[in-house]
Chains A and B, each alone.
Chain A
Amino acid sequence: AQTVTQSQPEMSVQEAETVTLSCTYDTSESDYYLFWYKQPPSRQMILVIRQEAYKQQNATENRFSVNFQKAAKSFSLKISDSQLGDAAMYFCAYRSLNDYSGNTGKLIFGQGTTLQVKP
């Protein structure tokens, strides 16, 4: 079974600075997707960025980028030029590419990291 671990329950960053959130996962599969979701106080889950495991190039979305280390099973999120609106809980998630079990719809989430942005 796949697992996702976020070892930092809380992080803080100064506005305009850069912060990195850590995520590790465990899987025996070679093909999968990884995601970072943001959950602000409004509680809606918002997709921040996604990475396809077979792509070596790290995904980027504006101020958000990932450092994907497949061999180390690590998937960290870097937020540059942090803004007050980035304050939220961030979840790392795994999704299988293999459909043999019909479970590719299932997202496996980490426990989350609460990010505080200080003005």
Chain B
Amino acid sequence: DSGVTQTPKHLITATGQRVTLRCSPRSGDLSVYWYQQSLDQGLQFLIQYYNGEERAKGNILERFSAQQFPDLHSELNLSSLELGDSALYFCASSVGSGRAWEPLHFGNGTRLTVT
């Protein structure tokens, strides 16, 4: 068990809808990262938050947004969903600001299916 909790485990929704994925980092970790894993794109970095502030941004669509709250949990909001957004969304956490030597601890992911 990595200590990173993601909810829900599975989510099925229709095109055009909006969903929120939630992540609780490992106790003591200040950074949260979001990754998308799909069959065609592989594992793609979306965004990182460190102690409530956006730290780094990757291939995140404008329809997607994220935030990290004072209690350090994070939410990834996906809106105007398309079929191609169906993927496994991972959250990971690390203790510091994201230095290369800090191990990332991954959650079990949320499987999103858009129909």
Contact = CB atoms under 8 A, between A and B. Distances in A.
B98 interface: yes
Contacts of A95: 100
Nearest to A112: B42
Given A52-B101, A107-B104, A45 B90 contact: yes
A101 B100 CA distance: 13
A43 B109 contact: yes
Contacts of A105: 31, 33, 48, 50, 55-56, 94, 97-98
A118 B2 CA distance: 28
B98 A44 contact: no
B84 interface: no
A33 B56 contact: no
Interface in B13-72: 31, 33, 35, 42-43, 45, 48, 50, 55-56, 58
A116 to B, nearest CB: 19
B108 interface: yes
Interface residues of A, number: 27
B108 A42 contact: yes
Contact of B55 (A33, A91, A102, A110): A102
Interface in A42-94: 42-47, 50, 52, 91
Nearest to B43: A109
Contact of B88 (A32, A43, A97, A106): A43
Nearest to A53: B100
B8 interface: no
B14 to A, nearest CB: 24
Contacts of A24: none
22 contacts: A33-B100, A33-B101, A44-B106, A44-B108, A44-B109, A45-B90, A47-B103, A91-B43, A95-B100, A97-B99, A97-B100, A104-B99, A105-B33, A105-B94, A106-B33, A106-B98, A107-B43, A107-B45, A107-B104, A109-B43, A110-B42, A112-B42
Interface of B: 2, 31, 33, 35, 42-43, 45, 48, 50, 55-56, 58, 88, 90, 92, 94, 97-101, 103-104, 106-109
Interface of A: 32-33, 42-47, 50, 52, 91, 95-97, 99, 101-112
